Structure 1
Amino acid sequence: MEIGKKIKNLRLKKGLTQEELGERTDLSKGYISQLERDLSSPSIETFFHLLEVLGCSPKEFFDEEKREQKVVYGEEDQTDYADEEKGYEIQWLVPESNEKEMEPVKLVFQRGGGFKRFEPSLAETFGYVLSGQVIVQLGKREYKAKAGEAIYFHSSEEHQIINDFDGTSEIILTVTESYL
């Protein structure tokens, strides 16, 4: 078993650098590096402390059965919300996606509807217009996208997506996690 590789994978899943993990466990960055390359073995006490900081139980760590990741999500996994006042419906396509690096959603805009205005962030946004036409307001500029067209932008300015169609517009949108 490659203990070091598993520790490194857990650390990366937590989004920690070796230095950050060292600070949280009172271990040096160099020692973490040695552990991850299987050049050193931790004491039982140190090992359990590492697992605690990394949010993994010893049973999970040593469980050799590979847990199959969920790849396909059906309608039963999706969550809906409608804001009749603003004229949109949002459907989260993957559960707990707001805790992941990407958040895919489907937006349906009623005539004159618009999604909420977002503050600048480090996120990136990708969208694909399924039907109708939308306007992407990015800072002081506006961009139109119609059915069959894709949009992509850095969210470094205030932004909003609104319906620009005399009827319903639908869009699939994926936003990356913002690190602000």
Structure 2
Amino acid sequence: MQIGAKIKRLRLKNGLTQEELGERTDLSKGFISQLERDMNSPSIETLFSLLEVLGTSPKEFFDDEEDMKVVYSAEDHTVHIDEDAGYEIDWLIPTSNKKEMEPVYLTLREKSQFRAFEPSLAETFIYVIEGKIRLILGENEYFARTGDSIYYSASHSHRVVNEHAGKSELIVVATHSYL
């Protein structure tokens, strides 16, 4: 692993010069230059300080980019069917609950609803592929039909109800994995 090259890539991505990064981390421009050329190695404390300023976590920094998957096929999906509740949820990305966003394909049978959720810090996006749904968000209700989108903060209890005389199909993307 080339730590220096990754630090440089992050620095440039953040639009910082070596001098600006050095000022924010109490390091000299020369030391930053040496790090980026792998001529010097940072202490753990220095590396963590650099990563904080560069807006990344140690885990993200050390994850092997070559092993990070970009394209996911249908074989990667995880499907859960709840016959009693009348829905099918298809997690489109494996381990999406460990990522920033959790995209799912949700199918609601006629007169069914997805489970109720307590308030959280999540934000949720819903795209209605087919059908008509009702979002109950706290004391408010919102309706969306084929082609409509919904975007909301999950700061109130909420649930999605199928209002279509058949099945409704949705793409749901939520942050702070709670699906």
Name the CA shift for 1:48/1:79 in 2 (closer, same or farther; >3 Å). same
- 1:46 is displaced (CA, Å) by 3.7
Residue 135 of structure 1 pairs with residue 134 of structure 2: yes
Structure 1 segment 66-77 matched on structure 2, within 5 A:
67=66, 69-77=68-76
Aligned length: 153
- In structure 2, what is the equivalent of residue 26 of structure 1? none
Q: Once the two structures are superposed, what CA deviation does each residue of 1:117-156 show, in whole Å capped at 9, x if it has no partner?
A: 1111121110110111110000011111101111111111
Rounded Cα–Cα distance in structure 2 between residues aligned with 1:47 and 1:166? 60
Rounded Cα–Cα distance in structure 1 between residues aligned with 2:114 and 2:8? 41
Residue 6 of structure 1 pairs with residue 7 of structure 2: yes
Instruction: Give, as a single letter, the amino acid of the residue that structure 2 aligns with 1:34.
Output: L
Rounded Cα–Cα distance in structure 2 between residues aligned with 1:92 and 1:35? 47
CA RMSD of aligned residues (A): 3.7
- 1:97 is displaced (CA, Å) by 0.6
- In structure 2, what is the equivalent of residue 24 of structure 1? none
- 1:2 is displaced (CA, Å) by 5.8
- 1:86 is displaced (CA, Å) by 1.1
The equivalent position to 1:34 in structure 2, one of 10, 27, 32, is: 27
- In structure 1, what is the equivalent of residue 116 of structure 2? 117
Is the Cα contact below 8 Å between 1:134 and 1:161 reproduced in 2?
A: yes
Tell me the SS of whatever aligns to 1:3: helix
Rounded Cα–Cα distance in structure 2 between residues aligned with 1:169 and 1:46? 54
Name the CA shift for 1:153/1:77 in 2 (closer, same or farther; >3 Å). same
Rounded Cα–Cα distance in structure 2 between residues aligned with 1:107 and 1:67? 31
User: TM-score, normalised to structure 2's length?
Assistant: 0.69
Rounded Cα–Cα distance in structure 2 between residues aligned with 1:50 and 1:80? 40
- 1:39 is displaced (CA, Å) by 6.9
Name the CA shift for 1:69/1:150 in 2 (closer, same or farther; >3 Å). same
Is the Cα contact below 8 Å between 1:4 and 1:38 reproduced in 2?
A: no
Unaligned stretches of 5+ in structure 1? 10-29
Instruction: Give, as a single letter, the amino acid of the residue that structure 1 aligns with 2:118.
Output: E
Rounded Cα–Cα distance in structure 2 between residues aligned with 1:99 and 1:33? 33
User: TM-score, normalised to structure 1's length?
Assistant: 0.69
- 1:111 is displaced (CA, Å) by 0.9
Instruction: Give, as a single letter, the amino acid of the residue that structure 1 aligns with 2:174.
Output: V
- In structure 1, what is the equivalent of residue 13 of structure 2? none
Name the CA shift for 1:101/1:35 in 2 (closer, same or farther; >3 Å). farther
- In structure 2, what is the equivalent of residue 20 of structure 1? none
Tell me the SS of whatever aligns to 2:75: helix
Rounded Cα–Cα distance in structure 2 between residues aligned with 1:33 and 1:110? 59
Name the CA shift for 1:3/1:154 in 2 (closer, same or farther; >3 Å). same
Is the Cα contact below 8 Å between 1:137 and 1:159 reproduced in 2?
A: yes
Structure 1 segment 42-81 matched on structure 2, within 5 A:
46-47=43-44, 54-55=58-59, 67=66, 69-81=68-80
